[in-house]
Chains A and B, each alone.
Chain A
Amino acid sequence: MAVTEELRALYGVAVKNWRIFLSYRVWMISDIMLGFFFVGQALLIGIGLTGQRNSSALQRITGYSDYLTFAVLGFMVLGFGLTFLSGFVWSVVDELYAGTLEYSFASPMRRITFFLGNVLVRMLLSFLYMAVYVPLFVLVFDVHINPLGFLRGLPVLLLGTIGMIGLGMTTAGIVLYLKDPGPFINILEMLVFALSGAMYPVTILPKPLQLLAKAMPYAPTSEAVRKVVAFGYSNALEELGYLLFISLTYVIFGYLAYRWSERQARTVGLKSY
């Protein structure tokens, strides 16, 4: 059966990715530490500058007075964003450098299966990381997370994730045919970092950067998640509508890029390093 064959292939790709990931155990520790640095930094900056756990200035711009919760939610969206952008793209590019990508692509499996297998494992990992982070943040930093509000935010995060995967696939499809993908991905990562709205509301950015931030799926996800967590769905309809629009757009982009790269592979072939 074609469907079961494809599913078996998907499973194979996922297991391979999982194994490769496990072989970088030490990096996992360093990844998790990174979350602590990030959130810890936010807490200490806040306390060092204001001496308090709440900021009326932040409340005026965003509705959040608890800057730490604000940063934690932002960091989670950013974590998802980086997983589906750099984690995803790097893993494909690494295979390209190692020369194994061509073998995968030469197999009869559909290429989309290869990408989806990769996405699946990253999704699982992101949730695992989150499961580690949330209780630890609550314990260590005394972050106030209302479980109900938090659960309310999850579907929004998933909606945003669709757009992030779309952007990741677009990028992966394109960078495979660049002469030197490394710095290009770095630059994109930094744009995501700066424009994700993780640490600050994007409204404090200059206008052109604000527009760019709005055009990528990260900041809209952060905003919608924060709004829903604090004020519920009915008060966040505008943000949700926009997020839906952005996510769908990137899914279409991702699909088109995938088709393009499929054709490109046949005409110019993959680069060898």
Chain B
Amino acid sequence: MPIIAVIEKEFRMFFRYPLRVFSSILVGIVFLLQFVFFGQAVLGGRYSQLLASSTGIGDYPTYALVGYVLWWLSVSPMEAYVWGIRRELQRDTFETNIAAPIRITELLLGLALSWLIMDSLLMIVVFAFGAIIFHISITLSILLKSLPVLLLSFLAFLGFGFIFAGLVMMLKHIGPFAQIFEFSMLFFSGIFFPLRVMPKIVVKFSKILPLTHSVSAIRGIFIGKSYSEIAPSITWLLLLVFIYWLIGYAIFSWAEKVTRVMGYGGY
């Protein structure tokens, strides 16, 4: 399968430089610590009654860790397109790939999938690190129960990210916008604070982001909720998977048409 070749190539290039892997993990950890430590310093402890009453989870490190890891994974396909394609454009390898008979959608999906897997590996380390230093207890049943939700979330994230694939191909460089967007997601989906503090309109808007539902489902599992209790989030996710794949593909098809007129290469 050619898509495996794409994944294998990305893996080789990433893991060939252990220092880069290490620095990526460090970035992941430091970013997390910033906000959790701040929250704890303000709180003077780890338990917030207010947080518990508005979200069901009172333990701030657990709340933040789950949200943060999912946020990172949710922007991973976006990053793959924004930075992965840009890198190939800068290095002139993008056109070499396009010239091959592999479907361009397969090529791009392979790229996003490999970044998502690599980021998952990084996040497992970050999650484990966070769980250890913040003494978060995790049981095997929580992990197993999270897995299907996680996979469903991945599907949604991939579809959501696909919107950017076409845009990058056409516009070539959208790094700064993507960065702003990625950070906005921290706000819109309530990663480090409960969404309730945001204005009503933002709370409504956050419903169209897959991350919001994915986070609330998995946080639910962490406090022992059953699948039927988190059913609304799952339904939303299923719906969004469908919608984003559709929108993503439509935008991509249009952008590809424009790109074929402009030329794929060139920086």
Contact = CB atoms under 8 A, between A and B. Distances in A.
Interface in A189-205: 190-191, 193-194, 198-201, 204-205
A100 interface: no
Interface in B49-65: 50-51, 54, 60
Interface of B: 17, 19-20, 22-23, 26-27, 29-31, 33-35, 37-45, 48, 50-51, 54, 60, 175-177, 179-180, 183-184, 186-187, 192-194, 196-198
Interface in A121-141: none
A57 B42 contact: yes
Contacts of A183: 17, 19-20, 22-23
Nearest to B64: A45
Interface string A39-73: 01110111111110001111011100001000100
A204 B34 contact: no
B37 A199 contact: yes
A231 interface: no
A29 interface: yes
A104 interface: no
Interface of A: 26-27, 29-30, 33-34, 37, 40-42, 44-51, 55-58, 60-62, 67, 71, 180, 182-184, 186-187, 190-191, 193-194, 198-201, 204-205
Contacts of A193: 30-31, 34
Contacts of A44: 187, 192-193, 197-198
A41 B67 CA distance: 14
A33 B193 contact: no
B7 to A, nearest CB: 22
Contacts of A201: 41
26 contacts: A26-B176, A27-B176, A37-B186, A40-B187, A41-B186, A41-B193, A44-B192, A45-B35, A45-B39, A45-B193, A48-B50, A49-B42, A49-B48, A49-B51, A50-B42, A50-B48, A56-B44, A60-B44, A67-B41, A183-B20, A186-B27, A190-B23, A190-B26, A194-B30, A199-B41, A200-B37
B42 A58 contact: yes
A49 B39 contact: yes
A48 B23 contact: no
A183 B174 CA distance: 23
Contacts of A30: 176-177, 179-180
A183 B244 CA distance: 34
Contacts of B41: 55, 57-58, 61-62, 67, 199-201, 204
A62 B41 CA distance: 10
- In the A-B complex, list the 4 residue pairs whose CB atoms are closest, starting with the nearest: A57-B44, A48-B193, A30-B176, A200-B37
A49 B27 contact: no
B163 to A, nearest CB: 19
Contacts of A27: 175-176
Nearest to A198: B34
Contacts of A190: 23, 26-27, 29-30
Contact of B50 (A42, A51, A71): A51
